[in-house]
């Protein structure tokens, strides 16, 4: 399959519900044991443990979404000295708090349990007494962190509170990442993860060094937020640039400037509607072209046809006929039919 249609390189799902109650916490310890040790007690083992984790990896970055009951995690000096994990783990607490973090280097103390984002250097020891939470974690290679932050060792144990600059966009971006990543093809997954990593490093970097990087990361995250809003509301007739700006609480001039490479936000909306229309013409051959046009916010069939022809150099009817011819050719060709079935199966399994 071509690289641009590959799913994320790795996608796994794990839940302790598949195990007997007395095995649940031990199963969780086995699942995360390649990174951190879980310190259970007999009472905790006996009552069972609810935990789930979805993992996605692409482009050298790893993202996980975990939901767990309260637990104690530790990465000891002995562990650090015996394994090879040297990347950074950024914990974004979407629900719940950071818990009590200890075992860090001298002169560095945790500000106490709070809702925020914590950075851990897996080349250093730490211990977390964590309450029940939903935590989104990004694992970033050490080389990437070091390229953006001069003294990356000092990053270990630092906390960015939820009210800090960029934090709101980090929470929104990572929450959207958890929702959207499972369905994305490989290039889009890499872009989404890379934007998250850039935003994280900008939030943790010291000023004024991070000013340029933070602006770039913020622009990337906000544009992604706007694009997600467009996709969600694409079929609404009143979807306009002004409605998006107002709904997301953004500055109109800034957003309009950031979408200038796409011809402006209005042009971007129209482009996405036309691409969706082209897809629906092929997927729904019995649906009237006018119904597709009105369903995507066009005020008349003639306006839709003119815009469609400018975009694709073909009319909607011509595009539908070509799609139907291609579909018939695929159905008549066993090799093409097998390839199409394999492609659909690969996408669905991803």
The CA angle 196-200-201, to the nearest 5 degrees, is: 120
How far apart are alpha carbons 304 and 309 in whole angstroms?
A: 9
CA distance 327 to 13: 35
Phi–psi pair at 188, nearest 5 degrees: -70, -35
Check: CB of residue 293 under 8 Å from CB of residue 278.
Answer: no
CA neighbours closer than 13 Å in the CB half-sphere of residue 127: 8
Retrieve residue 148's tokens.
Answer: 């953006």
Bridge pairing between strands 100-102 and 126-130: antiparallel
Q: What is the sign of the dihedral through the CA atoms of 267, 268, 273 and 279?
A: positive
Of 67, 33, 26, the residue nearest 48 (C-alpha): 26
The pLDDT, as a whole number, for residue 350 is 44
**Which residues of the chain carry a pLDDT beneath 70?**
1-9, 105-111, 206-217, 332-350
Sequence-distant (≥ 6) Cβ neighbours of residue 158 within 8 angstroms: 118, 119, 204
Domains of the chain: 3-232 (2.60.120.10), 267-349 (1.10.10.60)
176-231 pLDDT per residue, tens: 889 888 888 788 788 888 888 988 888 887 654 444 555 666 777 788 888 888 98
């Amino acid at each position: 399959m071509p690289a641009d249609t590959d799913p994320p390189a790795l996608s796994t799902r794990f839940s302790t519900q598949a195990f007997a109650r007395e095995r649940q916490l031990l199963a969780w310890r086995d699942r995360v044991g390649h990174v951190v040790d879980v310190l259970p007690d007999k009472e905790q083992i006996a009552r069972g443990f609810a935990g789930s984790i979805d993992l996605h990896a692409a482009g050298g970055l790893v993202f996980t979404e975990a939901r767990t009951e309260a637990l104690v995690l530790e990465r000891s000096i002995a562990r650090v000295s015996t394994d090879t994990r040297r990347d950074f783990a950024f914990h974004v607490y979407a629900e719940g708090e950071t818990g009590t973090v200890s075992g860090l280097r001298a002169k560095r103390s945790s500000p106490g349990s709070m809702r925020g984002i914590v950075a851990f250097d897996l080349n250093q020891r730490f211990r977390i007494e964590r309450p029940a939470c939903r935590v989104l974690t990004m694992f970033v290679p050490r080389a990437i962190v070091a390229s953006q932050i001069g003294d990356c060792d000092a990053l270990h144990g630092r906390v960015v509170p939820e009210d800090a600059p960029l934090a709101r966009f980090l929470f929104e971006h990572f929450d959207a990442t958890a929702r959207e990543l499972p369905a994305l093809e490989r290039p889009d997954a890499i872009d989404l993860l890379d934007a998250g990593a850039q935003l994280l490093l900008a939030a943790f970097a010291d000023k004024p060094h991070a000013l340029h990087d933070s602006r770039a990361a913020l622009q990337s995250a906000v544009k992604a937020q706007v694009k997600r809003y467009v996709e969600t509301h694409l079929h609404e007739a009143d979807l306009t640039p002004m409605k998006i700006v107002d709904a997301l609480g953004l500055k109109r001039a800034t957003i309009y400037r950031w979408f200038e490479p796409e011809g402006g936000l209005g042009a971007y909306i129209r482009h996405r509607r036309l691409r969706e229309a082209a897809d629906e013409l092929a997927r729904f051959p019995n649906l009237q072209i006018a119904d597709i046009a009105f369903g995507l916010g066009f005020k008349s069939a003639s306006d839709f046809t003119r815009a469609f022809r400018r975009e694709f150099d073909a009319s909607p009817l011509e595009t539908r006929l070509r799609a139907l011819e291609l579909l018939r050719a695929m159905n008549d060709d066993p090799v093409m039919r097998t390839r199409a079935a394999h492609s659909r199966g690969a996408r669905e399994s991803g």
